[in-house]
Amino acid sequence: MERAGKRVGEPGYRNRDVLVPALLAPLAGAAIGLLCAGFRLALEAADRWRDALILWAHQWNVAGFFLVVAVCAVAVALAAWLVRRFAPYTSGSGIPHVEAALAGEVRPAPPALIPRFGPRTRPRRPERPNGRRDRP
């Protein structure tokens, strides 16, 4: 990579382009660490709630068993709906889709770091000057 006639690592090369990402990297790492810690705490709380539900349902024997199964089925259905609603391109490990996209068999999934919340999950088509939308 060259800039103003100098190559990276040569004396006189400006390193200002690297300074901002180097300063932001620890902040991004800390934010991701806090997010992961919060997710872990939420998983542990959900595990405690599940254990409490199972202990509470033991008093009804078979009916309690079916209650636990029904609650788990509802939780799985909710998780499936959330994935389909907010991350429609998510499926499996993703490796087969990447391989198919590289082979030209399917279109690549659109890049997204954070799912969008709201009525639309697909990107909007760009508007033309006359106000009409282009087709993809």
Check residues 22 and 133 and name the one with the higher pLDDT. Answer: 22
**Domains: count for the chain:** 1
Residue 85 lies in a domain: yes
Cβ atoms of residues 110 and 123 within 8 Å: yes
Q: What is the reported pLDDT for 100?
A: 85
Whether residue 112 lies inside any domain: the answer is no
pLDDT at 77: 97
Domain span including residue 49? 12-102
Choice among 9-18, 22-31, 42-51, 100-109 with the minimum mean pLDDT: 9-18
In a domain, 128, yes or no: no
Residue 65: inside a domain, yes or no?
yes
Q: Which of 97, 75, 96, 77 is nearest to 85 (CA)?
A: 77
Q: Write the pLDDT tens digit of every residue in 97-124.
A: 788 888 988 887 777 666 565 555 454 5
Q: pTM value?
A: 0.55
Rounded to an integer, what distance in angstroms lies between the CA atom of residue 70 and that of residue 53? 12
Asked if residue 3 is part of any domain, the answer here is no
DSSP string, 39-101: HHHHHHHHHHHHHHHHHHHGGGHHHHHHHHHHHHHHHHHHHHHHHHHH-TT--TTSHHHHHHH
DSSP state of 27: H
In a domain, 88, yes or no: yes
Q: Is 32 helix (H, G, I), strand (E, B) or coil?
A: helix
